[in-house]
Amino acid sequence: MFMQIDLTSHIVRIISTLKVENEGNGLLSDLLVALTDQEASHLAFLSVFQNEGKGKAKSPKASLPIEVLEPEGIHPHLTFYSVSLPRGLFKGETLTLEVWAVFTHILKPFPKQVPQGDPQLILLEDSGYYLSPYAVESQTLTVKLPDARIESYTELGKTKVRGSEIRYGPYQNQTSFTEFPISVHFEYNKPLLVAQKLVREIEISHWGNVQITEHYNLIHGGAVLKGRYSRLDYQASPHTNAASAFSRLVASLHRGAHSVYYRDEIGNISTSRLRSDSQKTEIEIEPRFPLFGGWRTFFTIGYGLPLEDYLFESEGKRFLNFSFGSSISDLVINELIVKVVLPEGSSGISVSIPFPVEQWQETKISHLDISGRPVMVLRKTNVVPEHNQHFQVYYEFSRFSMLREPLMLIIGFFFLFVASIAYTHADLSISKSSPSYLAKLQKDEVQIKLQQLLNIISQCLAIHDGLEASVQELSKTGDLQAFKTERKPANSLLKELLKELKPLLLFLQSSPQAARIFPKADDLVAKEQELLEKFTTKHSIIVDCYERKLSGREIENRVAPYQQKTTALRQEIDNLVDYIDGAI
Ligand SMILES: *[C@@H]1O[C@H](CO)[C@@H](O)[C@H](O)[C@H]1NC(C)=O
Ligand SMILES: *[C@@H]1O[C@H](CO)[C@@H](O)[C@H](O)[C@H]1NC(C)=O
C-alpha cells in the first residue's frame, strides 16, 4: 500500500491506496479503517472509493457507504469506520481502494510567535505507518511539503529526502496496528486561512437574478506576529518581510458573475481587481493591511448571477442547483451557514445535498413583501474544499405570486402619490422595512463595530509587545537612541488608534442592541488607555534612568510598580477581548 501525506496546504490530506486481499476463508464484505482519536477529532472529510487502476485520483470520488463504529474497548484511543465494499471478496480475491481523509487544524505553528520577517515554521506529528487493523505486506509513505526547506524530520530506516518530498519505506510485513509516530518540522510561508464563520446568502429573484452575498469573518491561524508590525519594512519588501501574511487572495466566482463588489468594515474597496473569461470570474482581494498570524478581518463579497444558469425545472417543481462551499481556495470554514432565500409565495421546499448538514427554515422580510420570503438555512461545521459540491433546493411556485411585487409597487406608488398630495407640508417618512428587519440590520452593525474595536485593540497590543521587546533590547545593548527612535512613532500610532476607538464606542453606546456588551467594550477601551499611560510613564522613567546612567538594579526598583500594574492590565484586557469575542 502507498500512503501520501500532503502538507502543501494547511488543509492536510492523507491519501492511502490499499490493495486489499482476503486471505481468510469467509466472504469479506466490509473493510475497517482506523484513525487515532486525535486524527478523528480533526477529520473534516472522509471518502473511500474503488481505484480502477489508473493511478492516484486527483480528487475524491463518491464514497462507498461508511459507518462509524462504537469503540470496542481493545483500542481505546482509536476510532473505527466500517466501509461496505462494492462487492464481497472471496478467498484470494483482491480489490484496490483509495482512502481520502482530510484534516483541519492539525498543523501547529512552532514557534507559536515569529517576528515580522522571519519564516513561519510548522510542525506535524502523526503516524508514519498506515494504521491498519489488518497485517500489511508492504507499505511506503511520501510526505509532500510546500518547499524544500525542512528543519527536521523523523528518520525511520529507509528514509530519503528528494527536493520537497520525504520518502519512507518500503517496509515489509508489519503486524496489524503497528504504530510509528513521526514528526516533520518545515517552513510554510503561506497564511493559514480560517473562516471562523461564513454566511452565504443566495437570493433568488424570478426577475432574472440570483444575488450572492458572502460575509466572511477570517482569521490567520498561523504563527502570531511577535513585536511590532512595521509597514515600512513591509512595503520595502513584502515577500521577505511578511512572507506568511495574507495580503491578497483570489476568489473564483461563478461564470457570468456581474455587479461584483467587495466591502470591509469601513466601506467599498475599489482596489480589488476583476478578471473574467468564459469559464469563470475571479476577483482579487487586497485587504487594507496585511493580515499576520492571529489577526482577523471581516469583509463581504457580493455579486449577481443570471438566473437561467442556476434555476431549473423538474417534475413541476423548480430547483436551484448551486455549489455549497466558499469561492476562496485553501480555506477552512469552522462554521458555514448557507441561506437560500426563495421568492415570496414558494412552498413545498426540500433540499438534496450529498453530506449531512443541519437544516431549518426562516422567513426574510424586505420591502414590498407581504408575508416574507421563505429561507432555507443549511449549517455545517468544519468545511473544507472537498465539500464544495452541488446541492439542490426544490420548491413549488405559482405564477400568480410573481405578479405580486409589481402590483404592490403600483398600489404603493398610488398611495404615495395620494398621500403626498394630501400632506405636501407634512414630514413624510416612509418606513421601508419592518421592525424585525431593522433590528437585524442594527445587530449586524453592532457586530461589525465590535469586530473593528477588537481589531484595533489587537493592533495596539502588538505595538505594546513590540515596545516591550525594544526595552529588552535596550537592557542588552544600552542603545538608548535606538529605543527613542522606536518609541516615538509607536506612541503616536497608539494615540491615533485610540482616537479611532472613540467613534466606535459612541456608536455602541447609542445602540440599544449593544446595551449588554457596551459596558465591557467601554471597560476594554479604558483599560487600553490606562495601559498606554502606564507604559508611557514606565518608558519615560527608563529613558530618564539611562540618561542619568543609573545602575540596572536602581532602574529595576523604580520600574517594578509599573511592571506589576501593566501585567495585571494586560491580563484584564485579554479577558475582556475573549469575552467580547465570544459574544460576537
Ligand atoms: C458598493 O458597491 C456596490 C456595487 O458597486 C453597490 O451596490 C453598493 O451599494 C456599494 N456599497 C457601499 C456601502 O457603497
Ligand atoms: C448541478 O450542476 C452541476 C454542475 O454544473 C452538474 O454537474 C450537476 O449534474 C447538476 N445537478 C443537477 C441535479 O442538475
pLDDT at 511 exceeding the cut of 90: no
pLDDT of residue 407: 58
Cα(303) to centroid of ligand 1, in Å?
10
367 vs 381, more confident: 381
pLDDT of residue 392: 97
- pTM value is 0.69
Cα(213) to centroid of ligand 2, in Å?
22
pLDDT of residue 192: 92
Q: Which atom of ligand 1 is nearest to the CA of 260?
A: 4
Q: Which atom of ligand 1 is nearest to the CA of 267?
A: 13
pLDDT of residue 411: 65
Cα(73) to centroid of ligand 2, in Å?
44
Cα(352) to centroid of ligand 2, in Å?
12
Average pLDDT over residues 480-508: 88
Atom 11 in ligand 2: which residue has the minimum CA distance? 321
Whether 324 and 376 have beta carbons less than 8 Å apart is answered as: no
Ligand nearest to the CA of 265: 1
Burial (CB count <10 Å: 0-12, 13-18, 19+), residue 315? exposed
Give the DSSP per-residue string, 48-110: EEE--SSSS-SS--PPPPEEEPPP-SSSTTEEEEEEEEEEEE-TT-EEEEEEEEEESS--EES
What b-and-e string marks burial along 564-578, b requiring 16 or more CB atoms within 10 Å of the CB?
ebbeebbeebeebbe
Residue 353: strand, helix, or coil:
coil
User: Taking the CB of residue 454, how many other CB atoms lie within 10 A of it?
Assistant: 19
pLDDT at 282 exceeding the cut of 50: yes
pLDDT tens by residue, 18-40: 999 998 888 999 999 999 888 99
Burial (CB count <10 Å: 0-12, 13-18, 19+), residue 327? buried
pLDDT at 288 exceeding the cut of 90: no
Average pLDDT over residues 186-208: 91
Average pLDDT over residues 453-475: 86
**Three-state secondary structure along 468-512?**
HHHHHHHHHHCCHHHHHHHHHHHHHHHHHHHHHHHHHHHHHHHCH
Gap between the Cα atoms of 527 and 507, Å rounded: 19
pLDDT of residue 148: 83
pLDDT at 425 exceeding the cut of 60: no
pLDDT at 351 exceeding the cut of 90: yes
pLDDT at 427 exceeding the cut of 50: no
| DSSP 8-state symbol, 290 | -
Pocket test for ligand 1, best of 203, 209, 253, 263 (most atoms within 8 A of CB): 263
pLDDT at 497 exceeding the cut of 60: yes
Residue 154: strand, helix, or coil:
coil
Looking at every residue in the chain, the average pLDDT score rounds to 86
Residue 173: strand, helix, or coil:
strand
Atom 12 in ligand 2: which residue has the minimum CA distance? 321
User: Strand 181-187 relative to strand 121-127: parallel, antiparallel, unpaired?
Assistant: antiparallel
pLDDT tens by residue, 302-317: 999 999 899 999 888 9
428 band by pLDDT with thresholds 50, 70 and 90: very low
207 band by pLDDT with thresholds 50, 70 and 90: confident
pLDDT at 14 exceeding the cut of 90: yes
Which range (151-155, 380-384, 580-584) has the least confidence? 580-584
Whether 194 and 278 have beta carbons less than 8 Å apart is answered as: no
pLDDT at 257 exceeding the cut of 50: yes
166 band by pLDDT with thresholds 50, 70 and 90: very high
Whether 12 and 103 have beta carbons less than 8 Å apart is answered as: yes
pLDDT at 48 exceeding the cut of 90: yes
Average pLDDT over residues 53-75: 80
Cα(259) to centroid of ligand 1, in Å?
9
Return the C-alpha cell found at 110: 512552532
CB distance 392 to ligand 2 below 6 Å:
yes
pLDDT at 432 exceeding the cut of 60: no
Q: Which atom of ligand 2 is nearest to the CA of 312?
A: 14
Cα(390) to centroid of ligand 2, in Å?
7
Amino acid at 18: L
Percent of the chain with pLDDT over 90: 44
pLDDT at 278 exceeding the cut of 80: no
pLDDT of residue 71: 65
pLDDT at 416 exceeding the cut of 80: no
User: Which residues have C-beta atoms less than 6 Å from ligand 1?
Assistant: 259, 261, 263, 267-268
Cα(268) to centroid of ligand 1, in Å?
6
Q: Tell me the C-alpha to C-alpha distance, in Å, between residue 546 and each of 231, 480, 522.
A: 29, 7, 36
Residue 6 CA to its chain's centroid (Å) = 20
**Among positive and negative, which fits the CA dihedral 51, 56, 58, 60?**
positive
Ligand nearest to the CA of 323: 2
pLDDT at 569 exceeding the cut of 90: yes
